[in-house]
A and B are shown apart, each in its own frame.
Chain A
Amino acid sequence: MAAVSVDSPEESEHLRKIEGYSFLFLCDDKDELIRHWDLVHPKAGEGGKDIARPAKFILDSAGTVRWVNLTDDILVRARPEEVLQAIDTLHLAEPTVRQ
């Protein structure tokens, strides 16, 4: 699992340490990934910065997207149980053919 935001590596590492998270943090501080994947929320960040809109993806080991959650309400996110259930349902050990 990896968490992505437009925070700089320093900011992300700070968050990771103070919360005690052990998963990987990726830092899209040039907004390249969120632009490429069309996940920009324009001017929604502190100081009018473009940030990522909330989104969750499950990919299989071949890199095919198997599940997407694009919430339309910032306060309502896919719960961990939902993601885990989706992973179970998808039988991710068998990757599908890329299109």
Chain B
Amino acid sequence: MKQSWNAALWAGFMLVLVGTLSYQYFFIRFPVTRDFPWANLLILAIAFALIAVGLRRAFGRPQAYRGKIFGPILAVLGVCAAGFFLFVVFYFVKQVPASAGAPKAGAAAPEFTIPDSLGRPVTLSTLLATPFQSNDWPQARTSEYKSNGLVLIFYRGYW
């Protein structure tokens, strides 16, 4: 009887790769699947179910299914990949400093002077006083509009 290559094992393993890599390349774009990676957890659950089926076949019916050696190898690799993914998404990204000294609601924001993306120094006072758009702030029209305030967004940078 011809031994099958045990599709369930291979499909399960491929799905582990899909389940881990698809987060950063796809699911991260949508808040609903980014804030909590339920889509990836679902894919990983199906992946490991397939691997379990494949292992049962390999060891339970070795005459019909291959996989007594590559099965456990794929399973271990899958567990490592999934484990790394879970570590990053549930632990590593939460290691953010407490920043207890950051300006709090009700306090005066500390003044600063730093360059804009064209290298021109900008002060907080200027930003607060002048309604501006994009990089034309020094020429910001003396307009009838008053600035109502400022939204300041700190981000990690672009690599």
Does residue B42 face the partner (Cβ distance < 8 Å to A)? no
CB distance from A47 to the nearest CB of B (A): 9
Neighbour of B154 across the interface among A16, A52, A87, CB < 8 A? A52
A36-B110 in contact (CB<8A): yes
In the bound assembly, the distance between CA atoms of A53 and B152 in angstroms comes to 13
A64-B106 in contact (CB<8A): yes
A-B CB pair tally, cutoff 8 Å: 199
Give the A interface residue count (CB, 8 A): 69
In the bound assembly, the distance between CA atoms of A65 and B111 in angstroms comes to 12
Does residue A22 face the partner (Cβ distance < 8 Å to B)? yes
Does residue B35 face the partner (Cβ distance < 8 Å to A)? yes
B157-A7 in contact (CB<8A): yes
In the bound assembly, the distance between CA atoms of A71 and B35 in angstroms comes to 12
Q: Which chain B residues lie closer than 8 Å to A33 at the CB level? A: 112, 114
| Closest residue of B by beta carbon distance from A27 | B115
A74-B96 in contact (CB<8A): yes
Give the B interface residue count (CB, 8 A): 54
Q: Which chain B residues lie closer than 8 Å to A99 at the CB level? A: 106-108
Neighbour of B124 across the interface among A16, A63, A83, CB < 8 A? A63
CB distance from B84 to the nearest CB of A (A): 16
| Closest residue of B by beta carbon distance from A73 | B94
A36-B148 in contact (CB<8A): no
| Closest residue of A by beta carbon distance from B90 | A73
A54-B96 in contact (CB<8A): yes
B49-57, B69-77, B125-133 - interface stretch:
B125-133
B96-A41 in contact (CB<8A): yes
B35-A75 in contact (CB<8A): yes
Could you list some 6 contacts between A and B, CB below 8 A?
A2-B151, A9-B116, A13-B118, A41-B96, A53-B96, A66-B149
**Given pairs A99-B106, A99-B108, 6 additional interface contacts (CB within 8 A):** A9-B118, A27-B115, A39-B99, A45-B157, A55-B102, A75-B89
Q: Which residues of A contact B (CB under 8 A)?
A: 1-7, 9, 11-16, 22-29, 32-34, 36-42, 44-46, 51-68, 70-76, 79, 83, 87, 92-93, 95-96, 98-99
A-B pairs with lowest CB-CB distance, top 3? A38-B101, A13-B117, A12-B117
